[in-house]
Chains A and B, each alone.
Chain A
Amino acid sequence: MRFSIYRYDPDADTEPYMQDYVLEDCPADMMLLDALLLLKEQDETLGFRRSCGEGVCGSDAMNINGRNGLACVTPLSSLSAPVVLRPLPGRPVIRDLVVDMEQFYKQYRAVKPWLQNSEPEPEVERLQTPVERDQIDGLYECILCGCCSTACPSFWWNPERFLGPAALLQACRFLADSRDDATEERLQTLDDAYKLFRCHSIMNCVDVCPKGLNPTSAIGRIKQMMLKKTV
């Protein structure tokens, strides 16, 4: 299998370039991350992040043949050769496939992604019916890999002002949680021409999410909650 991989080491390179690699005898069920690990045995200067290897930690997000995804759960058999690997789009490159995610994390922190409840704490669990609990399915599973936000044209244009699909999904996760009572304040903060309303329902986020989540629909739910509040 042939690979063409984005390379850039600011210590050594004046500008980025694409480097070709070949990997012989790839087994049919091989994942892209396995291939990258073997390529790194050939050339240890190749830089990328990885950890769990099973799609739950969100480390190895990258642009694979033009589409964002996680290398560890992308079968080689699903890719046409040469496999073109680039860093996630729109973020500053630190080195090779490693990007600086700080702006992405900053927007995550901006939605105050923690449960807020001002009631006194009971000595046991707060009750929540299965139906109430179901409201956060499809929201809490996010692994912060960044595939969605870095595939979003609105986030490319306004990464400082538009929160992006990942952060908005988190905002919705707490708005939808029956145990959270900061709804009013959360909605007020989000009611902004840029933070939320720069989403134009392009739906790249839904297309690329490796966990099958739907940030566009979460954004829609937030808008509905705002509407309900005003009428």
Chain B
Amino acid sequence: MSIPRRKFDTLVIGAGGAGLRAALQLSQDEAMVAVVSKVFPTRSHTVAAQGGINASLANVTDDNWHWHMFDTVKGSDYLGDQNAIEYMCRAAPRIVYELEHIGVPFSRLDNGKIYQRAFGGQSQNFGGDQAARTCAAADRTGHAILHALYQQNIAARTHFFDEYFSVDLISDDDGYILGALVVDIASGEPLIIEAKTTLLATGGAAQIFRTSTNAHINTGDGMGMALRAGIPLQDMEFFQFHPTGIAGKGMLITEAARGEGGYLVNGNGERFMPNYAPNAKDLASRDVVSRAIAVEIREGRGCGPDKDHVLLKVDHLGADVVHKRLPGICDMTRAFLNIDPAEQAIPVFPTAHYTMGGIPTNRFGQVVVPVSSGPEDEVPGLYAAGECACVSIHGANRLGGNSLLDILVFGRASANHITGYLSEHRHHRELSESSVDKAMQRLLRWDTKGEGESVAGLRNDLKRVMEEHCGVFRTEDVLAEGLDKVIALEKRLPDVRLTDHSRQFNTARIEALELENLMDVAIATVCSALSRQESRGAHSRIDYPERNDVNWLKHSLFYKKDRQLDYKPVHVKPMTVDTFTPKERVY
């Protein structure tokens, strides 16, 4: 069977903020860019980001990039790479001004400058007073940014493959990544996109959990592709649980609700965060707030008849502030809870939200793996940016407002490096037919007919196991049992069969391919979590309650082959300033 081929200079997989930022710059640089996305670009999950993007513009409080850097390093529980964090925090103001110039409708201060609000983990002067660093377009900042980036890409005439699903990376025998096998969802037809560079910008994977704030599409497709290409995933034990998902449903209630002055109360009507974070209170880091909520509930101080959630109050702020600054949240609570937050408190619970781990990269977006000379050899032609990547900026815990920043800064950094790479690699290399065959096998496997269990059945089991065995608090026993269960689930995967074998817009087939990715990501997560015998950031081990910098100030690397784990050192040396040495983390 001969598969059609298209050739581009560069392939971008994923059309969220990272992919579109990179594509825009590359198109403007006159590279031939193909953007492949399994959904129409503005349906990517960046659209759901609410609160804003961090940059030390100092429009509201005194601020500078070095304070932003300190907060990010501290927020990461010292697992973030300080060279990359310095790079990001320095780049932030320029990135935000650029967004403003391309049309993002930021909210404004009376003096006409960009509105900034307080967010969790932000301080002035290295741990002093609360800073207001998060640039916002009401509480629809992700929507505003994603649409503006897409609009500019239309102007730049970027070539889009909308509703194409990426099956696997293709390469040559020397290990160069040369594009991907994709499938047109509408027609079901496969297509090889050959490219000199490939950027994975496929987003996060919180769909491995039963309840999450993530879109249905966040199935870790790029992470799965990387694992199958022999590339490890880094720091997968660190999954962020957002403190304020709507209880029992999962929709995100932005941290901006607390940034604007909201706070949490328990079943006794008591504001409890001051007991856990005397200074920052409700604006402590997300890991701290999520654990506090979990403890309140565990100790019987939850709200509601089942004492299974806490309440987020913003009703004291006045209807004007709530409706003006948090209109999206008002829409959401009206639709899903039938309440107006200006009048009534919102029931919330910590909910799986963000994948701190991912495909290991350096600060240029190049995917790096330990091969020969050291822990970080570049994979030629392969880049990753955004939530699917692990630079690592966020370390063990991401600060609110740093993910929109991450996707744009490293989307741009990747584009910068790709431009250089393209000037040095002017010709397409010959791809290996065996890598195409392997990718096709993955696709064709789902044409097998006959009796078997369903994709949905196995997926539901997987999500339940992950929720029960890999949540906010973890122990050796629970994780080990979880790993056994997930491995047992993986063994069932070959027996899954589709009943839908139509070629046309076959969403069942896409969900099957997504399930394979979810399975790989889930196993990486549990294995990494079981091995890390300490508590750091979002990874909270009851049996190892302390952070252990002597043994565990290192990144974990999980390989699909034999479920092997490896480790590599943290870059503790920044680009120009002094290292922030690990300290006890109090808010």
Identify the closest chain A residue to B98 (Cβ): A121
The answer on a CB contact under 8 Å between A44 and B498 is: yes
Given the known interface contacts A11-B503, A56-B48, the answer about A144 and B42 at a Cβ–Cβ threshold of 8 Å is yes
The answer on a CB contact under 8 Å between A54 and B109 is: no
* A53 lies within 8 A of chain B by Cβ: yes
The answer on a CB contact under 8 Å between A44 and B454 is: yes
Cβ contact of B113, chosen from A59, A115, A125, A179, cutoff 8 A: A125
The answer on a CB contact under 8 Å between A56 and B328 is: yes
The digit string for B27-60, where 1 denotes a CB below 8 A from any CB of A, is 0000000000001101111011000000001000
* B363 lies within 8 A of chain A by Cβ: no
The answer on a CB contact under 8 Å between B114 and A125 is: yes
Nearest-Cβ distance from residue B16 to partner chain A, whole angstroms: 11
Binds B, one of A133-141, A189-197, A201-209, A221-229: A133-141
Nearest-Cβ distance from residue A123 to partner chain B, whole angstroms: 7
CB within 8 Å: A-B pair count:
157
Nearest-Cβ distance from residue A202 to partner chain B, whole angstroms: 25
List B residues 333-366 near A (Cβ within 8 Å): 335-336
* B70 lies within 8 A of chain A by Cβ: no
List B residues 400-455 near A (Cβ within 8 Å): 454-455
A41 to B332 CA separation, bound complex (whole angstroms): 26
A117 to B105 CA separation, bound complex (whole angstroms): 14
* B102 lies within 8 A of chain A by Cβ: yes
The answer on a CB contact under 8 Å between A53 and B216 is: yes
List A residues 144-188 near B (Cβ within 8 Å): 144, 174, 177, 179-180
The answer on a CB contact under 8 Å between B148 and A53 is: no
* B68 lies within 8 A of chain A by Cβ: no
A48 to B42 CA separation, bound complex (whole angstroms): 17
CB neighbours of B191 from chain A (8 A): none
How many residues from A make CB contacts under 8 Å with B? 61
The answer on a CB contact under 8 Å between A55 and B454 is: no
A128 to B507 CA separation, bound complex (whole angstroms): 44
The answer on a CB contact under 8 Å between A9 and B45 is: no
A170 to B383 CA separation, bound complex (whole angstroms): 34
A211 to B47 CA separation, bound complex (whole angstroms): 14
List A residues 102-136 near B (Cβ within 8 Å): 105, 109, 112-115, 117, 121-130, 132-133, 136
A105 to B150 CA separation, bound complex (whole angstroms): 12
The answer on a CB contact under 8 Å between B103 and A51 is: no
Cβ contact of A9, chosen from B44, B186, B504, cutoff 8 A: B504
Identify the closest chain A residue to B101 (Cβ): A121
* A45 lies within 8 A of chain B by Cβ: yes
Where the two chains meet, the residues of B that have a C-beta atom closer than 8 Å to any C-beta of A are 39-40, 42-45, 47-48, 57, 96-97, 100-103, 105-114, 137, 140, 143-144, 147-148, 151-152, 154-155, 186, 215-217, 251-252, 328, 331-332, 335-336, 454-457, 498-500, 502-508, 511
